Copies of this chain bind each other. A is one copy, B any other.
């Protein structure tokens, strides 16, 4: 009897996080991982365990989440892709599926992640943006917020911006770029985009929470620096809410791609 061939499958996933308790499986309610594993297990005929590039918290969205799983099934990628398209709820989409090098790991092999945080900053609400932005009605001092951004670029200890109550090996992270500007498309939509080697849980939302305090005039640039330098979660303002956050892109080191469906490079 020959050993079954094990394939390493990479998934590119988009989802609207509104109705989920986050990516990571948990017993209290629906999660992206839970739904994907259930459907993949059903399609492939064996129990599937997926690992992602990183969890996203309850209510957070993704345009590009990356995950992988191992399978002994020899079903063509197209069949798996079409089954997922047919069976997944409309707020989750697997938009590309690849068989990759057996050694590929979605978290370890990630070089950069980019998150976007949307702030709808106007006196009145826009109902069509409510699920994908944080409504801040009071005027913000945008240039004061922008003046803080150089402070978070580089390799720094972001202990003040971790999730309170979490225990992690290191709170040092490397941020490559951070930008805050008005959307070209939607009036009054302020877009924060940040790219780093990796992020702690709540880190982007905690950074946005502090930037908003600066924008509201409740915190100065000096005080923002002090919060960062304190390396203490308790001195930083509360996180911005989840619905403004979108995991936008993950860049990987080059790996061997054995097969891909759709056969061309998909771009959402």
Contacts and interface: CB of A to CB of B under 8 A. Distances in A.
A224 interface: no
Contact of A14 (B14, B93, B94, B127): B127
Interface in A87-111: 90-96
A16 B127 contact: yes
A127 B184 contact: no
A128 B63 contact: yes
A202 to B, nearest CB: 21
A130 B131 CA distance: 12
A249 to B, nearest CB: 13
Interface string A120-137: 001111111011100000
B127 A92 contact: yes
Interface stretch (A66-74, A151-159, A160-168, A260-268): A260-268
A61 interface: yes
Given A123-B266, A262-B123, A266-B123, A128 B16 contact: yes
Determine the interface band of chain A, counting residues with CB < 8 A from chain B: 20 to 34
Nearest to A88: B125
Interface in A150-209: 184-185, 187-188
A130 B91 contact: yes
- Please tell me how many copies of the chain the complex holds: 2
A85 interface: yes
Nearest to A125: B93
Nearest to A268: B126
A92 to B, nearest CB: 6
Given A185-B184, A187-B268, A268-B187, A14 B246 contact: no
Given A185-B184, A187-B267, A125 B90 contact: yes
B246 A128 contact: yes
B127 A91 contact: yes
A3 to B, nearest CB: 34
A15 interface: yes
A255 to B, nearest CB: 22
A132 B123 contact: no
Given A14-B126, A14-B128, A16-B127, 13 more contacts: A14-B125, A15-B127, A85-B124, A90-B125, A90-B127, A93-B125, A94-B124, A95-B125, A96-B124, A124-B268, A128-B246, A131-B131, A187-B268
16 contacts: A14-B126, A15-B127, A63-B126, A85-B125, A91-B127, A91-B130, A93-B124, A93-B127, A94-B124, A122-B268, A123-B262, A124-B262, A124-B266, A131-B131, A187-B267, A188-B268
